Structure 1
Amino acid sequence: MEEKMRFLLLKQILQKSPLDLAAIEVSLMQGKRKADLLIAKKNELIAYEIKSCKDNLAKLNGQISDYLKIFDKVYVVLDIKFKKDIISIPEQVGIILFDSKSSKFKILRKPQKNNPIMYYQTLFVNSKKLKLYKQNGIIDIFDLRHFLVKHLKKKDLKQLVFECLKEKYSYGFELFQKIFHNNEIHLSDIYLLYCSSQIKTSA
């Protein structure tokens, strides 16, 4: 059910406006978390946490707390059975309800612009890019990431993060968009958005 929700949600998002990138099951905080859906749009990183009718909300507070450290905007997408639980969701988080009977989404609240901790966004920067900064005499990965936060302008750091995400996911996203625009999209095509650099390697 979660796969269906994610697929239908992304279809709806793409129908409304173009995206720079979309990816699923994105590893966060060095594997501590995974974002169900990540999109990049207009220099913003947006996360969607999806809870189907088969899920529970036991981990949701912790997930939201971590996503707010990383993303510019955060949405929670809930099956309609959780409607009574939305009161516990922080006000800066967007809320979308899903009705499985009609397969329709309803936006209850749009997210507020968040102020993420840039260090956590640097976790998207791959080792190849980090090595470029070793010439400054910094070798430790932890120190390299802090160097980026301290010495790069925020817009330059965000650009670097976007470059690394696109390097990893753009191949599959472009394939997905092509199928989508040809009206040939199927549920299984959503997995093109999973670590597409691996898809490119195996193709």
Structure 2
Amino acid sequence: MNMQRKFMQSTDALIREALHKKILQHQHNCPQTIVLDELGLAHGKNRIDIAVINGDIHGYEIKSSKDNLSRFISQLDQYRKSLQKLTIVAAPNHIDEILNVSPDWCGVIKVEIGPRGGVKFKTIRRPSKNPSVDMVELAHLLWKKEAIELLQEYGMKSNLNNKNRKALYEEIANHAKMEELVAWIKNKFSKRETWRAV
């Protein structure tokens, strides 16, 4: 009998379940924190696997052993614009490349699957604040009516309904501070009864 056992290949679903239970348990238990799977960025052009929204918008991107990194550079570019913090949770076969191409502020967690299916996480690099957030891209997380409501809070009243979303987001970037925009996004996310934009 061959006693050697190979480590199991990881899958997105296996890593995601363990990430929610082990790494994000405190966030799930905090009533002031919102945890979302598959948050669309730039109106769905890209998605982040898990988003944690409290004082910051922190994205977790999963790269299992079965994934490839062919789209990773383009994903990173969107994450740099849209997220205040980013952590890549990756299988061992991806760690070196991720460390080579990701910015220093990006956190990296290595995930290994044991022979019995146990999931083990090891922090390789802790995340810090992203210095390159684009306020217009961040504002894309708001639906049009939510963007209009925010601008009305800043005293803008005229012709807002006639502006397209891009123009509204640019106005928000001109008027709001980042912490104000993030607080508004969190407030609106908590009140959404459906996640299908009208």
Q: TM-score with structure 2 length normalisation? A: 0.78
- Identity, % of aligned pairs? 24
Q: CA–CA distance in 2 between the matches of 1:48 and 1:120? A: 18
Q: How large is the Cα RMSD of the aligned pairs?
A: 2.1
Q: Deviations over 1:7-54 (max 9, x none)?
A: 11121233345440111111111111011110113x100011101111
Q: Secondary structure at the match of 1:135?
A: coil
Figure out how many residues of one structure are paired with residues of the other and give that number: 171
Q: Secondary structure at the match of 2:35?
A: strand
Shift of 1:111: 1.3
Q: Where do 5+ consecutive residues of structure 1 fail to align?
A: 169-195
For residue 23 of structure 1, what is the amino acid of its counterpart? L
Work out which of the residue numbers 118, 122, 129 in structure 2 matches 1:113. 129
Matched, 1:127 2:144: yes
Work out which of the residue numbers 73, 77, 82 in structure 2 matches 1:61. 73
CA contact (8 A) 1:39 1:47 kept: yes
For residue 31 of structure 1, what is the amino acid of its counterpart? G
Task: Report matched runs for 1:34-45 at 5 Å.
Answer: 34-41=47-54, 43-45=55-57
CA contact (8 A) 2:61 2:89 kept: yes
Q: Where do 5+ consecutive residues of structure 2 fail to align?
A: 1-10
Q: CA–CA distance in 2 between the matches of 1:198 and 1:122? A: 16
For residue 72 of structure 2, what is the amino acid of its counterpart? L
Larger Rg: 2
For residue 93 of structure 2, what is the amino acid of its counterpart? K
CA contact (8 A) 1:124 1:165 kept: no
The 1:198–1:30 alpha-carbon spacing in structure 2 relative to 1, beyond 3 Å, is closer
Q: Secondary structure at the match of 1:56?
A: coil
Q: Secondary structure at the match of 2:194?
A: helix
Task: Report matched runs for 1:106-185 at 5 Å.
Answer: 106-115=122-131, 116-132=133-149, 133=152, 135-138=157-160, 139-140=162-163, 141-168=165-192
Q: Secondary structure at the match of 1:30?
A: coil
Q: TM-score with structure 1 length normalisation? A: 0.76
Shift of 1:197: 2.6
Paired position in structure 1 for 2:194: 197
Higher helix share: 1
Q: Deviations over 1:172-201 (max 9, x none)?
A: xxxxxxxxxxxxxxxxxxxxxxxx7369xx
Paired position in structure 2 for 1:177: none
CA contact (8 A) 1:49 1:76 kept: yes
Shift of 1:91: 1.6
For residue 10 of structure 1, what is the amino acid of its counterpart? H
For residue 120 of structure 2, what is the amino acid of its counterpart? K
Q: Secondary structure at the match of 1:136?
A: coil
